[in-house]
Homo-oligomer: A and B are copies of this chain.
Amino acid sequence: MTGSNISLASPIGVFDSGIGGLTVVSELRRALPHERILYVGDTARVPYGGKSSETVTRYGREISDLLVSEGAKMIVVACNTASALALPSLSSDYSIPMIGVLEPGASAAVKATRNGRIGIIGTRATIASEAYSKAISRINPDLSVRAVACPLLVPLIEEGLLEDEITEMALRRYLSPMLHEEIDTLVLGCTHYPLLKKAIGRICGPGVALVDSAENCALAVKAQLGPNPDQNDHSRLDILLTDSSEGFLRIAEKSLDLSIDSLSVRRVGT
């Protein structure tokens, strides 16, 4: 039974610390409906957003090794924290392409702004890395960038409190200073945040364009795969978690309407 995977196409490997990367999977499904996707959620060590660069890089390497051993043809780092902290040093270690969520989000924000004032929200680690601000100013150094860490949003989303007065209160506190500075573009710099798009849009109002890093990452993956994709339907979503997780399936199925073909738990690292 060693060859049980032989008939399956090489997957696009996708990883995140938890459920956030599923927003990228959802967009990949839309952009590339025939592709097989293998998703790893590092639920044994979730969240990454408050951890150090060294630790997040080590976790990213362990999971990338796993994806390569499973035959992935490309690795999508569907986590802004890992894209900011780990991707720069990981990308040269693998022979297959690696795509993060950060560069696609930064270039979409530059295209979207009209008044030159861009807001960025993300985890504490992503914001402290200044990776978005640097990526934006590499494209256009004249733009004004205001970045705010929103450490409570991931726990609120992981609890499924997508439309809730506690979440609303936290969002108002995080967003008010930027709105006061009249940003016209807001980068959702964490793959969890598209799940709050409705609440964020309500608070920001129609004058602020929301840049969804998940959506832009999926478009970058499509561009990387090139103009002549395999036309056969390999559509399939396999999920590996590093720890069993109840909340995972609930969010995947209810909020993102994803259909999962297989789900298993695999120990990584130790």
**B152 engages A156 (CB within 8 Å):** yes
Question: What number of copies of this chain does the assembly contain?
Answer: 2
Interface members, chain A 27-76 (any B CB < 8 Å): 43-46, 50-52, 54-55, 58, 62
Complex CA–CA separation, A45 to B46 (angstroms)? 7
User: Cα distance A241–B158 when bound, in Å?
Assistant: 25
Q: Does A270 count as interface, using CB distance less than 8 angstroms?
A: yes
Binding site for B on A (CB under 8 A): 43-46, 50-52, 54-55, 58, 62, 151-152, 155-156, 158-159, 165-166, 169-170, 173, 243-245, 247, 269-270
* Residues in chain B near residue A62, CB distance under 8 A: 270
Query: Which residue of B52, B151, B169, B244 contacts A159 across the interface (Cβ within 8 Å)?
Result: B151
Known: A166-B152, A270-B269. A51 touches B43 (CB 8 A): yes
From B54, B151, B152, B165, A169 is in contact (CB under 8 Å) with B165
Q: Give the docked Cα–Cα distance between A165 and B55 (Å).
A: 33
Q: Closest chain B residue to A51 by CB distance?
A: B243
Q: Are B159 and A170 in contact (CB under 8 A)?
A: no
What's the nearest-Cβ distance from chain B to residue A162, in Å?
14
- Assess the B44–A51 pair: CB atoms within 8 A: yes
User: Could you list 7 further interchain pairs (A-B, Cβ under 8 angstroms) beyond the known A165-B169, A269-B269, A270-B270?
Assistant: A43-B51, A50-B158, A55-B243, A152-B159, A166-B166, A166-B169, A166-B170
Alpha-carbon distance between A159 and B44 when the two chains are bound, in angstroms: 21
Q: Establish whether residues A245 and B50, one from each chain, have CB atoms under 8 Å apart when the complex forms.
A: yes
Contact A52:B243 (CB < 8 A) given known A45-B44, A159-B151, A269-B269: yes
A158 to B155, CA, bound (A): 12
